[in-house]
Amino acid sequence: MMRNSLLVLAGLALASVGSAQTIINANNPSGDAFTNAGPSVATQALTATGAYGETFVYRNVRNGGMVGIDSTYARSGTGSLHLVGTGGNAQSELAFGGGFDANGNILGPSMGSIDNLSALNADFYTASSNLSNAMAILRLELFSANDGGSASYGQLVFDNLWGTGPESMAWTFGQWGNVDLFANANSIYLRGTSGLASRYGSAQRTLANWLTTLNGKGYDIFSVNAGWGQSVNQFDGAVDNITFGVGANIRTYNFEPVPEPATMAALGLGAVALIRRRKKA
């Protein structure tokens, strides 16, 4: 998903200071279920934005894959990011970053340099799959305007099903668990795609190895995305509380359905009552 405009935007980054938790709501009060039966990818933008201007998009949805923020598998609060792969090369994902075009391609600005990555973890849940240890996939989408004299695009992919032995962890279905990629950088494996695979091979490396390999080569992070990769296998699960950090700026994204109007009204009345009590005091 590399675009020429990235050559201009690679040096820019979203302005941000400190750390924050952001609630990302679904487009619909009852939750989203964005799906596409056809083989061509479909995209849908979310109206929600992050605390530092990040935009969110459902993308790469095809062959019956489904993605949506809903209440099916609640984690923190009443919801999470729900992902379904029905087999038949179904695929779906949610991505967030500085900006995307109508087809889900990254536009920028970047969210910071991979050299300064300071946090990457998420809560995962697998309800069912025909594959043991299946869980959602987490990726960092990178671009460098000058790696060895030429531009390079690729993703670093955490996919628990890709490796064997120490490259794959045991995963229990039916319960939530956290995977902290950054804190366990010496034992969590990722593979590179596209230009990263061409330059550095398709074999998995630890995150620590990738950070050392890419250091100083100008790679910026243009999106973080979670999904189910194009697969003939079945999957039903969720992701929540994606935590991502560059330098001192560490942010956590909590996915929740939009509160129902009645709930919002009740919250509003409660706030008014609280203000009145404070004024009387």
pLDDT for 166-223, tens place per residue?
888 999 999 999 999 999 999 999 999 999 999 999 999 999 999 999 999 999 999 9
**Residue 167 has what pLDDT?**
83
256 and 122 in contact (C-beta within 8 Å)? no
> Residue 230 pLDDT more than 70?
yes
pLDDT in tens, 235-269: 999 999 999 999 999 999 999 998 655 444 444 44
Q: What is the DSSP string of 48-59?
A: EE-TTS-EEEEE
Peptide bond into 261 cis (omega under 30): no
> Residue 140 pLDDT more than 80?
yes
Please give the share of the chain, as a percent, with pLDDT higher than 90.
Answer: 79
**Residue 3 has what pLDDT?**
41
Q: How many CB atoms lie within 10 A of CB 209?
A: 15
- Tally the residues of the chain: 281
- Comparing 16 with 242, the larger pLDDT belongs to 242
> Average pLDDT for residues 148-166, to the nearest whole number?
91
Computed on alpha carbons and rounded to an integer, the radius of gyration of the chain in Å comes to: 19
Please give the share of the chain, as a percent, with pLDDT higher than 70.
Answer: 85
What residue spans define the domains of the chain? 6-280
Distance CA 98, CA 92 (A): 20
**Residue 266 has what pLDDT?**
42
Number of H helices, E strands in the chain: 4, 16
> Average pLDDT for residues 82-91, to the nearest whole number?
96
**Amino acid identity of 98?**
G
| Helix (H) / strand (E) containing 278 | helix 261-280
Q: How confident is the model at residue 52 (pLDDT cuts 50, 70, 90)?
A: confident
Distance CA 169, CA 126 (A): 14
Note the pTM of the prediction, 2 decimals. 0.87
Q: How many CB atoms lie within 10 A of CB 51?
A: 16
